[in-house]
Structure 1
Amino acid sequence: MPPPRTQGKALRHRLAELRGGPQVPPKALDARALAALAANPGCGRRALLDGAGVDKAALARALGAPSAFGQSQFALVRGNAFEAKVKGDGGTELLRLAHERLDRAAEPPTEALVPDLTAAGPAGRTARTELALREAAENPGGWTLLDHPMLALDVAGSVAFLEPDAVIVHPDGSWTVVEIKSFPLLDGAADPAKVGAAARQAAVYVLALEEVAARLDPAPRVRHRILLVCPKDFSNLPTASAVDVRKQRAVTARQLTRLTRVEDIAAALPDGVSFSPELPAEELTAAVEAVPATYAPECLSSCELAFHCRDRSREAGAVTALGRPVRAELGGLTTVEDVLAAARGEAGDAGDPAVAALRRAAALRAEALEAARAAEVAPCP
């Protein structure tokens, strides 16, 4: 077996080939992508494409199934402007919100240390962030604000560099993840779907911070209540809410450990396979189809290849296109044709609860249709 360094070099070369060559820079994984990946750990296609750094948006366009997934330019500009307002004046308002929502027992943050985290490349910024966190942990007693720190997390054999909006070090030495979003908090509450997405994203940052903390002695506490900062009502004034992400963190950690390692998926592909958008459409389609995918309707809001995978799922008659809850109820029936055949009594084990339920539903449907037809032909009294 080759030594680990040789294995790593060979894997990097293989992943570069999948992108279209070493001249194609990898697209960085972010927390949003990792949260989506963890929500669908059975999708080898997404795991490989994300691990190789393939630009899935460009790939979807080349396949003829472009996706509208992603933030609009207006939303990005508005979000950046709001974040700048929150962090203005050395993060005074942000720290005030952290003290108010998370740590009222601590001394009010009259001033805070804001270390310089600039360095060359993601690896350099990651090392600089860890050094700043180490220094803050070794000198507790004050507030420290890390603006756009860089964290690293190993995901299925591939390193993902993550950039939270901010991390706060409390006077007791504990660490808190800060998520700044441009959707409003109306009367103290926000859209549950958007809050849930922010919590899943923050859970990825919490996992990465815990890896940093584990390397320190003593290990600082990473708080599982993150600070979600949003505009108040319909204004541009910042307000905040403490969001407990313990559940999201546990689910994300479990799902990430279930991901098939990138090198295992890549090793199963034929030699010469590439996902370069410059390839002819037929060759590119064959390359994508060589990697198994697990489509679900939820992919439409989180993956650039969702439209392509949905079309293929429908062509194959896969029940996953109807949603995970339906798929879970149908047991071993994986296609729509299998389901219809079981309902008609043409296939399936009558002792299977899913088959029995389908046949009962088919019988009830037939009775209802017969009653409706009888009512239509019945003479008026």
Structure 2
Amino acid sequence: MKNNEYLKGRGAQQKVHNRFEAHLHEMRDDFLEFCRIEGEEAGKNKTQYIPIFPKTIVNKVTSPDVGMMHSMNPYQGCEHGCVYCYARNTHEYWGYGPGLDFESKILIKKSAPQLLEAKLKHKNWKAETIVLSGNTDCYQPAEKRFKITRGCLEVFLKYRHPVGIITKNALILRDLDLLKALQKDGLVAVNVSVTSLSEDTRRILEPRTASIKKRLQTVRMLSENKIPVNVMLAPIIPGINSHEIMKLAKAASENGALSIAFTVVRLNGAIGTIFTDWIKKTLPDRADKVLGQIRSCHNGNLNDSRFGLRSRGEGKIAAQIHDLMRLAKHTYFKDSSFPKLNTELHEQFKDGQMRLF
């Protein structure tokens, strides 16, 4: 691939070196030219599924900026390819790069349901909502094949344990039977990410996600089945989707969502390099403006690591985003609220069946 060539179907447009690795692998121009002349393929762009064998699956979340206490991720890496994804950096801890590796080398945790069951049965575990997924999407394309998330939902239902879900894939509707069973006892809530109403924007920003139409249909279907839905307008990127806030909120409300939430984009770690390369290839006419506005939200930087500010931003543009969100919530969600999940049943079902004595 030439340096200025757009790679269709992927978010990241380049392989990014893993900062923890001593050796660097790169595609040199002379090698690419040799492959062109010889008619050979320089590199494969196919997704690889790689099994891994973790010892635990439930993670305690310590960040004060994240509204969850515990999370679990059946997959590491994510084929959705969202170019702004904060989780890209975590792929480096597995020995891969945060660019194309993140969305093409997907690590599969087939033992996740068994590890979850062991956690829920542990004598010291007290029920607190566990969120699927705090890092990478539990309904990314790999789930259609491996069904690990469905297996985890079956465990949550068996032990009557509360579970939250974050996704941007309509595949969640495949598991509507389990979600309805969980909802009977107030044990499930879903967060659906809707970043733009423009399919053109969605295709380049989140290339392998469900269409906007399917995502809104998913919100509606879940809501019609009494499953509480929060729509994540995240991240808000100045100059790309910040002008859509009111329209996004209206669409979420009209399709039955009970609430909305948002974050201001921050390009932490290697994501700053990945996003900058991406926007100069996909939106070259506004690249400098968008990058400048993102910097204005983070004290002149593409990223801010300070708790309390890193996902909110500061400055005039961030203030405008917050004002619009307050107006959107007041206009479309004034009389609705998101429920708290039920933690009272799990103790009765901890041994796998309801205790009679």
**TM-score normalised to the size of structure 2?**
0.25
